[in-house]
Amino acid sequence: MDKKKIIFIGFCLVVMAQLYVPAKMILDRDDILVSGTPYKFKAAPIDPSDPFRGKYIVLNFEETTVPVPEGSEWTYNSVVYLTLTKDSSGYASILTVHQEEPNGINNYIQAKALYYKTSDNTLSIEYPFNRYYMEESKAQDAEDLYRNFSADSTQVTYALVYVKNGETVLKDVMVNDKSIKDLVKESK
């Protein structure tokens, strides 16, 4: 084989690898949306002084602390696994927290341990889906709408997240079962 053929074959392999990696990531996310379990995570009001940070909506959630066994040890910023269930209203609720990946359970997510409070044996956690990215021209309007709706206790604001085997995909931010994207369009 001459040098040009070897270079061409090497080039083709590099191109295939560069196409395979993003395609695999997209297909994995799509699989979660198709066969994962949808959960609605109730949103909490955000601090209005927190500036808009990029082309996304900053999301806060109501359930950010979980009870843990007395005397257990938790490390700041460590990965924890949250087993999920749905409450009587259909919203996501944390059933248990684990330090190791649970076996035989599909409906769990990875999160970060932030702060362990020994006085009441609770662990503060950070979800992996606390930012909802949008088209740049609509992101600021969506952030403002989200901030207003999440601060209004008469409005039901939540993140629609699909879960499968510890992986999550944030599909949409909803207000009274309506997409934030549609609300931005209507407000124009």
pLDDT single digits (tens) 76-103: 999 999 999 999 888 999 999 999 999 8
In sequence order, the 6+-apart residues with CB closer than 8 A to the CB of 116 are 68, 72, 73, 74, 122, 123, 124
Determine contact, residues 116/68, Cβ cutoff 8 Å. Answer: yes
Q: How far apart are CA 156 and CA 47, in angstroms?
A: 18
Q: How far apart are CA 101 and CA 79, in angstroms?
A: 9
In sequence order, the 6+-apart residues with CB closer than 8 A to the CB of 5 are none
Better-scored residue on pLDDT, 75 or 55: 75
The answer on pLDDT for 147 being more than 70 is yes
Domain residue spans of the chain: 1-35, 36-187
Average pLDDT over residues 167-177: 90
Better-scored residue on pLDDT, 27 or 1: 27
The answer on pLDDT for 63 being more than 80 is yes
Q: What is the pLDDT of residues 29-54, one digit of tens each?
A: 888 888 888 888 887 765 444 454 55
Q: What is the mean pLDDT of the chain?
A: 85
The answer on pLDDT for 174 being more than 80 is yes
Task: Map tokens 């959960």 to a residue.
Answer: 39
- Per mean pLDDT, which range of 78-82, 139-143, 164-168, 178-182 is the poorest? 139-143
In sequence order, the 6+-apart residues with CB closer than 8 A to the CB of 164 are 31, 32, 35, 36, 37, 106
pLDDT at 48: 44
Dig out the tokens for 179 from the structure: 């997409």
Residue 71: pLDDT band (50, 70, 90) is: confident
pTM for the full model? 0.77
The answer on pLDDT for 75 being more than 80 is yes
The answer on pLDDT for 64 being more than 70 is yes
